[in-house]
Amino acid sequence: MTAKNPVISSDKIPEALYPVIESLCSVSIDIAKIIARGPLGQSLGHEVGENSDGDGQKALDVLTDEMFAEGLRTQDVRWYASEEQEEVVELNPKGSLALAIDPLDGSSNIDVNVSIGTIFSIYDAKPEANESFLRIANEQLAGGYVIYGPQVGLVVTFGAGTLQYVLDPDAGEFILVNDALTIPDNSNEFAINASNYRHWRKPVRAFIDDCVAGTDGPREENFNMRWVGSLVAEAHRILTRGGIFLYPSDARPGYEDGRLRMTYECAPIAFLIEQAGGKATDGSDPIMKHSVSKLHARTPLIFGSADKVDRVATYHDLPEQEVSALFGKRGLFRT
């Protein structure tokens, strides 16, 4: 009898985390198979209820959450915090780790055959459930995502650079394709849900106005826009070819801190981006220095190539009359 191939090589993975990463990979291979069958398999994209945040829950949100919780139950994970569950769940009372997960990111794209993902973050477990997660993002031991797209991929960091794997579907194994993913800084692409323009604060409007003005504006260069609606897909594009992503706070009720959740989405994405040489902020301050006081708390998220993220911060620092002025008149760019 031949030994079964591992689903991922242990080479670049800290020993203490390897079994958990292996479990995450195994479950995500099963999930990728379900997603690939789409309407040929079980119903995935229909609404089945609401989670504790009031977000609509799709069948695949619930199924993936159950699959990860089940797959990790026998691992070294004591605390399991899922975007889809109100409270932290205790999986293995003897476990030494705490795992936060957005089991299915980009739910609105399930039925339209567009890339979706799973985002995860690992901390060492504290004796109490919530305190294991309500801590500064730079205490993460690992942050990563699986992308279910034309290729299935894993992008993960353990604090020593960002690793990129691609699933070989025939072998059922994630293969390392880049052990030092680095964000290129020569892209002029921005990603934001522009339908919220009228709700944004002035610094965000001014930044986007100047991008849209292109060669006629103060930036004197043209920009391109992308918005997939799956954070994982936007992060993957930016890690691959650069650019900037913004989900800022806005004036809609419930969007005072943007839309994305710190524990399940912003912290792990920020960790990956910083380890790939980029930056991630709430507009001004680094996400990696943030903590939140509630498990499902949201935070504005701006990330991407370092120079572009820095530039957004300068718009937040501009005096009121500068962000109110018509483009072309901003003092920041007159020199």
Question: Binding residues for ligand AHG, per CB under 6 A?
Answer: 55, 83, 102, 105-107, 193, 229-231, 259
Q: Residue 83: which residues within 8 A CB-CB, separation 6 or more?
A: 51, 53, 101, 102, 103, 261, 264, 265, 296
Q: Which residues pair with 230 in a beta bridge?
A: none
To Mn ion, the closest distance from the beta carbon of 147 in angstroms equals 12
Classify residue 12 by burial, with Cβ atoms within 10 Å: 0-12, 13-18, 19+.
middle
Residue nearest to Mn ion (CB): 105
Q: Closer to ligand AHG at the Cβ: 119 or 122?
A: 119
In the complex, minimum distance from the CB of residue 108 to ligand AHG, in angstroms, rounded to a whole number: 6
| Partner that binds at residue 58, options Mn ion, ligand AHG, none, CB closer than 5 to 8 Å by kind | none
Least gap, CB of 55 to ligand AHG (angstroms) = 5
Q: Of the two residues 196 and 284, which places its CB atom closer to ligand AHG in the complex?
A: 196
Q: Which residues contact 20 (CB under 8 A, 6 or more apart)?
A: 72, 75, 76, 77, 97, 99, 122
Binding partner at 193 among Mn ion, ligand AHG, none, C-beta below 5 to 8 Å by kind: ligand AHG
Pairing of the two strands 47-50 and 142-148 = unpaired
* Side-chain half-sphere CA neighbours of 94 within 13 A: 2
Toward ligand AHG, which CB reaches closer, 105 or 274?
A: 105
Whose Cβ is closer to Mn ion: residue 58's or residue 316's? 58
| Closer of 41 and 56 to ligand AHG (Cβ) | 56
Using DSSP's 3-state secondary structure scheme, residue 261 falls into strand
> In terms of CB distance, is 135 or 298 closer to Mn ion?
298
Report, in Å, the least distance between residue 84 CB and Mn ion: 7
Q: Say which entry of ligand AHG, Mn ion, none residue 230 contacts (CB below 5 to 8 A, set by partner kind).
A: ligand AHG
Distances in whole angstroms, Cα of residue 323 to Cα of each of 90, 207, 331 = 48, 9, 10
| In the complex, least distance from residue 250 CB atom to ligand AHG, rounded to whole angstroms | 10
Rounded Cα distance, 25 and 37, in Å: 19
- DSSP classification of residue 5: P
- Rounded to the nearest whole angstrom, what is the least distance from the CB of residue 95 to Mn ion in the complex? 23
Least gap, CB of 61 to Mn ion (angstroms):
6
Q: Which is nearer to Mn ion, 104 or 152 (CB)?
A: 104
204 close to 194: Cβ distance less than 8 angstroms: no
Cα distance between residue 308 and residue 187, in whole Å: 10
Contact 225, 190 (CB under 8 A): yes
Task: Between 14 and 56, name the residue whose CB sits nearer to ligand AHG.
Answer: 56
The pair of structure tokens assigned to 68 is 């990860």
Cβ(166)–Cβ(153) below 8 Å: yes
Residue 153, class by beta-carbon neighbours within 10 Å (0-12 exposed, 13-18 middle, 19+ buried)?
buried
Q: Which residues of this chain interact with Mn ion, rule CB under 5 A?
A: 83, 102, 104-105
Q: How far is the CB of 310 from ligand AHG (least distance, A)?
A: 22
